[in-house]
Amino acid sequence: MDQKQVRIRSMEASAESATAAERQEQCGVLDAVRRHYLFMYNLLQFLGFSWTFSLLTANLILHGQGALYNAFSSCAAVLYGCQMLAVLEVINAAVGLVKTPVFPAMIQVMGRNVVLFVVFGSLPEMQERSVVFWVFYLWSISEVFRLAFPVLSLDAKFAMLIWLRHALLYPLTTLTEAVAVLQSLPLFDQSRLFSVPLPEAVGFSVSFSFSLRLYLLLTFVGFFINIRHLVSPTGRSFRLKPHTD
C-alpha cells in the first residue's frame, strides 16, 4: 500500500470521526432541549395544581362546608389552563419525548376535559355542587404527587407517593368524575343542551345524556386499561434502591 492510499484512508477515517462527533453533539443538544422543555412543562403544571390544592385547602379551613360550593368560581380558570396544557401529554407521548403509552395518556386527558369543559363548564347548575370541589381536589393532589418527582427530583424514599396515587387517588378520582357525570344527566335532559334534533318524521332527538352514558361505560373501560398500565410503574418504583446520604 503506497503512501497516497494511506493518506486517503487516514482522511476518510478523520472525516468519519468528525461526523460521528458532530452527530453526538447534535444528539446532546437535542436531548438537552427535550429535558428543559419537559422540565418547564412539568413545572408549569406542578405550579398550577399546587396552587389549586393550596387554595381549596385554605378555603376548606377558613370557610368550612361553604368552600365545597364555590370551588368552580375560585379554581376553574387555572384548571382550564392546566387541562388545555395537558394536551401536550398526549403529544409528548406520541412523538416519543416521554415513555408513556399514548392511549392511557389520551384516556386521562380527554376524560378530564369532558368533565371540566362539558359537564362543569357548560352547566351553571353543576358549578355550585360539592362534587366539583372533590373532583378538583383529587385532581390537584394526584397531579402534585405525580409531578413532584420530575420537578423536585424525588427518589425512592418517596415511592409511597406513587403507590398512594395509583392505588387510592386514581380510583377515587375516577369515581368522583363518574358521580359528576351522573349528576349532570338530568340537567342535560332538561336543558336539551348539545342534543341532536332528528327529522320530524322520526319524532325524537338524541339527548346528549345518551353520549354521556356511553362515556361512563368507556370511562370504566379506560380505568381498567390505565390501572393495568400503572401497575408496572408502581412495581418498579418499589424496586428502586433506597436513598443513602
Active site residues: 170, 177
What is the C-alpha separation between 165 and 140, in angstroms, rounded? 11
**Element holding 6 (H helix, E strand):** helix 3-63
Residue 6 contacts by C-beta under 8 Å, 6 or more apart in sequence? none
Task: Say which amino acid occupies 236.
Answer: R
- What's the CA angle centered on 188, arms 213 and 113, to 5 degrees? 65
Question: Cβ-count burial of 126 within 10 angstroms (0-12 exposed, 13-18 middle, 19+ buried)?
Answer: buried
- Cell match 468528525: residue? 18
